[in-house]
Amino acid sequence: MKKIITFLSFLILCSATFAQKKAYVIYNAKGKKVSYKKMLKKISKKDIILFGEQHNNPIAHWLQYEVTADLNKTKKLILGAEMIEADNQTALNDYLSGKINKKGLDTLARLWPNYKTDYKPLVDFAKKNKLPFIATNIPRRFANKVYKKGWSALDSLSPQEKKWVAPLPITFDANLPTYKEILVMMGKHGSPKLVMAQASKDATMAYFILKNYKKNHTFIHYNGAFHSDKYEGILWYLKSQNKNLNYGTISTVVQDNVNALEKENKHIADFIICVNNNMTTTY
């Protein structure tokens, strides 16, 4: 008996010593823990998936890649991202087709500083698997015009420039809760035009997603979580234009304790990736 007790004590000590810390936990909208396999099964039934990230979160970027690779085994995919602007589509297509190399893409397109670590793997996956990759975002300089002058700033764009923006005039609802949150978060730096600039991005991303979506395909779109959290932003514009498609959302949050989803993080998406706040960031 003494030997058994000693052995059990040793097992308990080993368990405590070698227990793994959780880097992340996946939850459903209600805050119930779900497996990666279950999340994948659920979202595989969607026509369009908005995968919301924290831009510097390595877990989000890793899971974006894993979800994409796993869905590609059974689904016909179209990829798209906020992180590449619509006027860079030609350069992106040339890279995907092999007409230019990665240096050429870096020269011709305005790539984010963290492109190499966080988005290049997704673009290269598309290239390797001959998948479309859509540059969905409004050119930043146009969004800046809206921030400074409001919607009227887009009227002065040339016919070619208007091809890189959602069709004008852009529908806008300033009373959406997430747009109101922007004003609260920005405090004295917030303004109605700032919210318009945000909406110009959401509307344009939704426009290019629907424009490039094909029947019997799954479109996976990578975007900052705030652009699709609480089923608003991009999703609000998608549903405004096409209510018949089946939409799915994923968000990424960080918490000190990942073992229970905090109340404020529930119901922001179909699935919420809760990442340990101590996770090293990519920038």
- CB contact at 8 A, 275 and 258: yes
What per-residue confidence (pLDDT) applies to 164? 98
Domain hosting 35: range is 22-276
Q: 54 pLDDT band (50/70/90 cuts)?
A: very high
Residue 8 within a domain: no
Residue 281 within a domain: no
Residue 29 within a domain: yes
- CB contact at 8 A, 248 and 29: no
Q: Is the pLDDT of residue 151 over 80?
A: yes
Nearest 5°: CA angle at 91, between 86 and 97? 120
Q: 19 pLDDT band (50/70/90 cuts)?
A: low
Phi and psi torsions of 55, nearest 5°: -55, -25
Which tens digit of pLDDT belongs to each residue from 159-208? 999 999 999 999 999 999 999 898 887 776 668 899 999 999 999 999 99
- For residue 134, give the H/E element and its range: strand 133-137
What per-residue confidence (pLDDT) applies to 129? 98
Q: Is the pLDDT of residue 5 over 60?
A: no
As a whole number, mean pLDDT of residues 75-98 equals 98
Q: 14 pLDDT band (50/70/90 cuts)?
A: very low
Number of domains in the chain: 1
Residue 10 within a domain: no
Amino acid letter for position 206 = A
Q: Is the pLDDT of residue 112 over 50?
A: yes
What per-residue confidence (pLDDT) applies to 120? 98
- CB contact at 8 A, 92 and 133: yes
Residue 14 within a domain: no
Sheet holding 247-255, edge to edge: 24-28, 271-276, 247-255, 48-53, 218-224, 77-85, 133-137
Model-level pTM? Answer: 0.92
Q: Tokens 């080993």: give the residue.
A: 14
Alpha-carbon gap, residue 201 to 86, rounded angstroms: 11
Dihedral in degrees, nearest 10, Cα atoms 275, 128, 247, 30: -20
Residue 55 within a domain: yes
What per-residue confidence (pLDDT) applies to 13? 42
Residue 67 within a domain: yes
**How many angstroms separate the Cα of 179 from the Cα of each of 173, 184, 214, 239?**
8, 9, 30, 17
Residue 11 within a domain: no
Q: 4 pLDDT band (50/70/90 cuts)?
A: very low
**How many angstroms separate the Cα of 268 from the Cα of each of 26, 184, 185, 221?**
13, 18, 17, 17
What's 128's domain CATH number? 3.40.50.11550
As a whole number, mean pLDDT of residues 52-76 equals 98
**How many angstroms separate the Cα of 153 from the Cα of each of 89, 143, 166, 194?**
23, 9, 14, 13
What per-residue confidence (pLDDT) applies to 281? 95
